[in-house]
């Protein structure tokens, strides 16, 4: 039976304001327009994996507001199984994003229903037909820990995107197969900025099995029990919006690991997917198709 990707995490409605630059603290700048988009790191990763041809299930919570309905509709349209997404009374998660003309962004997230996900929700899920589990930190930590532990007990690969960055409990790290921070998140986790291999070594020392350090335009640095230290170069593109590039990487990385690729080959494919995503505005709408990624990466698996 074909194994699925299970994404456990957040679903947010994104309000994106465009401006020449991101304001400094206490500063007001004039915007040039705005968009209302579907997002949330969990839902973004689910959409990314589904667009690349994987069978995907999503678990989490949305609110009883109109945003919740839109979020479920967006996943359904991408053929993501939403049976594991519960509807809670009250508001859905909301992200307010400032997007600058040079493609950078600043994000404030209001958890809404995402903050109501419980460890009991996770333990009620079925893991039997799952091959890999994707996690992030936009739902409560006890739910993330429960998800990682349940997946680990079932012998599944667990990919954790430690964003928004937070202290990672030992019991979580012991259940993580791949930790995938970007440079900013990694620097906070190891209390300092350093060269990629040294950063990876320190991340491995805190307890996870493997690290895929996302380096933006430099690519990704892999290291761990299942991979020799390797820099996997990025694909050169002109960035328009980097909002969901990390989510796109994680979704694509999961898809190719599930397909049996080596970590290096999976990261190359994920770099190609992320490169395409940053050439487009928005989170879920920027996720590329399998044909697009295969054309750029040369991977036709």
- For the chain, the C-alpha Rg in angstroms (whole number) is 18
**What is the C-alpha separation between 301 and 220, in angstroms, rounded?**
21
* H-run or E-run covering 266: helix 263-277
- 247 annotated active-site: yes
Count the helix, strand and coil residues of the chain and give each as a percent rounded to the nearest 5. 35, 25, 35
Question: Max Cα separation, the chain?
Answer: 55
User: What is the residue whose two structure tokens read 């990919």?
Assistant: 159
- CA-closest candidate to residue 114, choices 156, 82, 134, 85: 85
14, 121, 241, 247: the active-site residue? 247
User: Cβ(146)–Cβ(172) under 8 Å?
Assistant: no
**What is the C-alpha separation between 138 and 40, in angstroms, rounded?**
8
Residues facing residue 61 across a β-bridge:
86
| Tokens describing residue 292 | 């697009």
**What is the C-alpha separation between 136 and 127, in angstroms, rounded?**
18
HSE-CB at 33 with a 13 A cutoff on CA atoms is: 3
Q: Quote the DSSP letter at residue 65.
A: S
Q: Is 120 buried (19+), middle (13-18) or exposed (0-12) by CB count in 10 A?
A: exposed
**What is the C-alpha separation between 202 and 193, in angstroms, rounded?**
11
Query: Which residues have a catalytic role annotated?
Result: 247
């Amino acid at each position: 039976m074909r194994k699925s990707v299970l994404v456990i995490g957040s679903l947010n409605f994104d309000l994106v304001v465009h401006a020449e630059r991101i304001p400094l603290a206490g500063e007001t700048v004039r915007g040039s327009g705005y968009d209302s988009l579907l997002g949330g790191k969990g839902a973004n990763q689910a959409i990314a994996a589904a667009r690349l041809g994987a069978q995907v299930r999503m678990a989490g919570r949305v609110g009883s507001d109109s945003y919740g309905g839109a979020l479920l509709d967006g996943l359904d349209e991408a053929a993501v199984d939403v049976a594991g997404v519960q509807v809670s009374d009250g508001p859905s998660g909301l992200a307010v994003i400032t997007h600058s003309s040079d493609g950078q962004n600043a994000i404030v997230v209001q958890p809404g229903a995402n903050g109501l996900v419980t460890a009991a929700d996770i333990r009620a899920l079925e893991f039997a037909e799952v091959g890999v589990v994707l996690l992030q930190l936009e739902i409560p930590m006890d739910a993330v820990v429960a998800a990682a532990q349940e997946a680990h007990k079932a012998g599944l690969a667990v990919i954790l995107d430690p964003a928004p960055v937070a202290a990672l409990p030992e019991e979580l790290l012991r259940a993580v197969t791949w930790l995938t921070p970007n440079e900013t998140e990694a620097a906070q986790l190891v209390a300092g900025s350093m060269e990629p291999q040294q950063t990876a070594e320190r991340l491995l020392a805190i307890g996870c099995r493997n690290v895929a350090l996302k380096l933006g335009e430099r690519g990704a640095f892999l290291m761990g029990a299942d991979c020799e230290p390797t820099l996997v170069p990025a694909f050169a593109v002109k960035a328009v919006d980097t909002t969901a590039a990390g989510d796109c990487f994680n979704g694509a990385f999961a898809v190719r690991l599930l397909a049996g690729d080596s970590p290096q080959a999976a990261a190359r494919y994920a770099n190609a997917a992320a490169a395409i995503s940053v050439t487009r505005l928005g989170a879920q709408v920027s996720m590329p198709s399998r044909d697009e990624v295969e054309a750029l990466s040369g991977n036709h698996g």
